[in-house]
């Protein structure tokens, strides 16, 4: 199942807002619609957002009427500016836009047609690599999972949050395929319910045993010895190892730490941002109040109630047992080990 794909000048994606009750695919030919789809969370999850932005730039190039290289570059840059403003926290968005813009700077590209083709190919490569990277993380992470383990996860860091296969769900999928008996506690993940709607749907589709729990029940299950490991994804991991992920992750990490339960973030190196020193410097997206006041269109609080709705929080690195990447697992001191793993990538 691919969350997003390119089909001759059209970007097709699953409208995740409708899951699990309706499986709907939507098609876009205008990068501005892709930007809207990211903002409104038709597509979400850091790696999937990155792929959508890359395909958005390919659309901008293909549908631009530019006849000169400089005009095409200008048009694509305008599109990048629009896409950059969609969601502020996910590293992969900025990483993917940077990678696509760098491709445009290749002097050997002759003329606008070659540039358009190069951007399509780059977006396709980026999407393909995402799936490969997830499978590699699955291999590394599965080594931590023993037969009979109960794993708790928060939000959706599955295939739907990536191009395919997932980040935090990748080791679980791999372990399951290896024949290990696993069971997953899925936090519902208020307010957007990515756990209840998306993670539960994915795991049930794969036949992986799971139990949906209210966010507030996570501490109870961890404290009563029912959880062996916590695996989450991240929107950004920064230089000191702080993990920025879906709101509520911090609470899970603290309770896991308090109870001696290992807490791992599973992230591709495209989610690691070494240019930022600590998590408190990462912009945290504030989303619409209606996500909190309404459940499935139904008002649940008093009319006019004041609301705060941060979409992410920061888990300080002291609560992080390790960071699983496609190049291996980084352990504390994370400031050092993450840098070494990211250097592997470049080298």
Q: Count residues contacting ligand MRU (CB under 6 A)?
A: 17
In the bound state with ligand MRU, the residue whose beta carbon lies nearer, of 248 and 257, is 248
Locate all alpha helices (DSSP H) within the chain, ordered by sequence: 31-39, 46-63, 69-84, 91-104, 111-142, 169-177, 194, 200-206, 218-223, 249-258, 290-293, 334-346
Does 47 contact ligand MRU by CB under 6 A? yes
The tally of CA atoms less than 13 A away on the side-chain side of residue 300 is 11
Is 235 a residue of the active site?
A: yes
Nearest to ligand MRU of 40, 258 (CB atom): 40
Can you read off the two tokens belonging to residue 184?
Answer: 């997953």
Considering only 4, 131, 142, 161, the residue that binds ligand MRU (CB under 6 A) is 161
CA-to-CA dists, residue 11 to 4, 65, 199, 291, angstroms: 7, 19, 24, 27
Is the CB of 11 or the CB of 311 nearer to ligand MRU? Answer: 311
* DSSP letter assigned to residue 225: T
Name residues contacting ligand MRU, limited to 240-279 (CB under 6 A). Answer: 245-246
How big is the chain, counted in residues?
A: 347
Q: Which of 46, 131, 145, 261 binds ligand MRU (CB under 6 A)?
A: 46
With contacts defined by CB under 6 A, name the span among 45-53, 113-121, 294-302, 314-322 that binds ligand MRU.
45-53
Among 202, 235, 242, 326, binds ligand MRU (CB under 6 A): 235
Q: Which of 130, 235, 242, 273 is catalytic?
A: 235
Is the preceding omega at residue 333 within 30 degrees of 0, hence cis?
Answer: yes
Q: Tell me: does residue 233 bind ligand MRU (CB under 6 A).
A: yes
Buried b (16+ CB within 10 A) or exposed e, 70-95: eebbebbeebbebbeebbbbbbbbbb
Site string for ligand MRU, 141-160 (x = CB under 6 A): --------------x-x---
Question: Which residues, numbered 297-326, are part of the site for ligand MRU (CB under 6 A)?
Answer: 311
3-state SS of the chain: helix, strand, coil percent to 5?
A: 45, 20, 35
Name the residues that contact ligand MRU, by CB under 6 A.
Answer: 44-47, 155, 157, 161-162, 167, 194, 232-235, 245-246, 311
Name the residues annotated as catalytic.
235
């Amino acid at each position: 199942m691919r969350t997003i794909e390119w089909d001759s000048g059209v970007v097709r994606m699953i409208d995740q807002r409708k899951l699990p009750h309706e499986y709907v695919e939507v098609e876009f030919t205008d990068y501005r619609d892709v930007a809207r789809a990211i903002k409104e969370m038709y597509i979400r999850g850091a790696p999937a957002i990155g792929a959508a932005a890359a395909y958005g730039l390919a659309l901008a190039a293909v549908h631009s009427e530019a006849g000169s290289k400089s005009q095409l570059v200008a048009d694509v840059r305008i599109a990048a500016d629009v896409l950059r403003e969609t969601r502020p926290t996910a590293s992969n968005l900025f990483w993917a836009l940077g990678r696509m813009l760098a491709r445009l700077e290749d002097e050997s590209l002759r003329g606008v047609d070659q540039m358009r083709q190069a951007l399509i190919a780059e977006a396709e490569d980026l999407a393909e690599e995402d799936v490969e990277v997830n499978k590699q993380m699955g291999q590394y992470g599965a080594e931590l999972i023993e037969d009979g383990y109960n794993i708790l996860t928060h939000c959706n860091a599955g295939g739907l949050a990536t191009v395919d296969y997932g980040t935090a769900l990748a080791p679980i999928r791999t372990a399951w395929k290896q024949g290990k008996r696993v069971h997953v506690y899925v936090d519902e993940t208020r307010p957007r319910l990515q756990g209840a709607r998306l993670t539960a749907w994915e795991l049930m589709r794969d036949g992986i045993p799971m139990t949906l729990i209210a966010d507030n029940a996570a501490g109870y299950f961890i404290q009563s010895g029912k959880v062996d490991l916590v695996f989450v994804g991240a929107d950004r991991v920064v230089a000191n190892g702080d993990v920025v992920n879906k709101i509520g992750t911090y609470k899970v990490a603290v309770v896991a730490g308090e109870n001696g339960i290992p807490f791992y973030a599973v992230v591709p190196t495209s989610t690691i941002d070494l240019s930022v020193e600590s998590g408190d410097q990462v912009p945290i997206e504030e989303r619409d109040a209606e996500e909190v006041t309404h459940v499935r269109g139904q008002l649940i609080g008093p009319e006019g109630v004041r609301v705060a709705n941060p979409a992410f929080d920061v888990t300080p690195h002291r609560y992080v047992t390790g960071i699983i990447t496609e190049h291996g697992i980084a352990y504390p001191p994370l400031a050092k080990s993450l840098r070494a793993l990211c250097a592997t990538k470049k080298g």
